[in-house]
Amino acid sequence: MSHYHEDPSRFPLRGGCACGHIRYTLTAPPIIVHCCHCTACQRETGSAFVLNAIVETQLLTLDPPEEPTISAGPGVPAVPATLPSTLKSMGEPKWDTQDLGGWGEGEGSQEGEGEDPFACPPPPSSSPHSQKPITVHTPTESGLPQTIARCPRCYVALWSHYHCGAGRHGVFLRVGTLDTPSEVGPDVHIYTKSKRRFVSIDDGKPAFEGFYPKPQEVMWKGGWERYENLRAIVMAAYAAAKATP
C-alpha cells in the first residue's frame, strides 16, 4: 500500500469513539505518524504501543453523533455495533463538558489576559449538533502535562494535546479510532528502549530508543513544511503569552 500522503483520495477520513457519541473527520494527511512504545502509552492504552497521527487541530472537525460501528478490517466495510440500552439512555455527564480550557483544575485564560497557548478547546465543529469531548489532564515522564480528549459517555481516548509540544494547536490523534485505521500506517517507531520483547520491528521504518532527533529526516516533504509552520505558530503563542503582564 502506498504512503498515506501519496493518495489524496483517502482523505477525508472519519472516525470516533466506541459508542458513536463523538464523531470526527480528519480532513488531510497527518504530518507524521508515530508508533510509540513508551511505558506511558502502554499504560494509557493497555496495549504494547500506540499509533498517533500528528495533525494541526484545525484539520480535525467534530461531527454529529452516529450509530456505532466496528471496523471489520482492511477493505471490509464497518459493521453495526450493539449499543447497550443503559448507554443509550445516558444524559450528559454531571461535570461541565464545555469547560475545556487550561491545564490542571480547569484553569484557562481569563478575559483581558493574553492567549493561553496551551488551553485545549475542541476542534472546530462541522455542525451545531456536534458533541464535545471531555478532557483529562494526565502526568507524563517529562513532568509537563498531557491533555487527553475522551468521549463523555464511553470514555474512549480519541486524541491528546501535549504541553511540551504544539499545545492546543496540534493533535495526537489515536489512529485506532479511525473507521478505517488500516489507511494510515506508522512513519517511525519511538521509545523502543521500552518496547515489549515480543514485538518485532521489521517494517523498514526508522526506529529510535527515544524521540527522533531530526524531524526533517523522518517526515515526508509536505509534512515537514507543515511541521515548520506549526512550530512557528506555537513559538508566536509562547512569545505572546510571555509578553502578557
d(CA 235, CA 245): 18
Say what the pLDDT of residue 239 is.
Answer: 81
Say what the pLDDT of residue 125 is.
Answer: 83
Indicate the burial class of 178 (C-beta count within 10 angstroms; 0-12, 13-18, 19 or more).
buried
Under-70 pLDDT residues of the chain: 1, 72, 83-121, 141-144, 164-165, 245
Nearest CA to 166 out of 147, 182, 189 is that of 147
Grid cell 508508533 is found at 35
The pTM score is 0.81
What DSSP state is assigned to residue 18? S
Residue 69, classed as helix, strand or coil, is: strand
User: Would you say how long the chain is, in residues?
Assistant: 245
What domains does the chain contain, in order, with CATH numbers?
Answer: 4-66+113-243 (2.170.150.70)
pLDDT single digits (tens) 66-83: 988 887 677 777 777 776
Say what the pLDDT of residue 210 is.
Answer: 92
Indicate the burial class of 46 (C-beta count within 10 angstroms; 0-12, 13-18, 19 or more).
exposed
Say what the pLDDT of residue 1 is.
Answer: 67
d(CA 164, CA 162): 5
Three cell numbers, residue 186: 506508522
d(CA 241, CA 169): 14
